[in-house]
Chain A
Amino acid sequence: DAGVIQSPRHEVTEMGQEVTLRCKPISGHNSLFWYRQTMMRGLELLIYFNNNVPIDDSGMPEDRFSAKMPNASFSTLKIQPSEPRDSAVYFCASSPPGQNNEKLFFGSGTQLSVL
């Protein structure tokens, strides 16, 4: 199994640009999470999908952030327009059905730098 795949691995962009982060969960998993990690704020839950439906998006910082899961094998996190304070590592994680999210599998993350 290839695990959770995130792309790009690194992204450097200028303030005001649109950024799209991508995630492919493990095949068969039906829960998908987006987390953001910074030194100051630690790991923050941005959004949680179950069966492709957003269940908890209370962690999405503001309207500049949006996430979609058009099918079970793909999710995107978009920031438009990006700001320097969005610089962080963004992680995607998935978990299998029937286990109440008892084990999350993480991707390698996307290191985002907004200049």
Chain B
Amino acid sequence: SQQGEEDPQALSIQEGENATMNCSYKTSINNLQWYRQNSGRGLVHLILIRSNEREKHSGRLRVTLDTSKKSSSLLITASRAADTASYFCYNNNDMRFGAGTRLTVKP
């Protein structure tokens, strides 16, 4: 069963807009990670946020964590067509991935 649930399942936006994806998890976490998967490829690590952190930035990525709600969000600012991919959250405590959000950025 999926330990993390992302929403939305699919998101379509125009280039330049921001994209926000959410993840909820059920078990406790040591840290929460976000990964990206281009079609037909393996997953690539994007960013990690620890359980004692609330916000983390990396380039155009911003991750927030709310342990009281067991949820996290990934924000991609100023999106580009090359950001088109699926995005997954990952709980390293139970080693499970969420269901993923499929992001389409239209040029």
**A interface residues, Cβ below 8 angstroms from B:** 4, 33, 35, 42-43, 45, 48, 56, 91, 93, 100-109
Contacts and interface: CB of A to CB of B under 8 A. Distances in A.
Contacts of A109: 40-42
Interface string B56-100: 000000000000000000000000000000001010100111111
A105 B45 contact: yes
Interface string B1-45: 010000000000000000000000000001101010000111111
Interface residues of B, number: 21
A104 B100 contact: no
User: In terms of DSSP, what is the predominant structure of the interface of chain B?
Assistant: strand
Contacts of A101: 92, 95
Given A102-B48, A102-B92, A104-B90, A42 B99 contact: yes
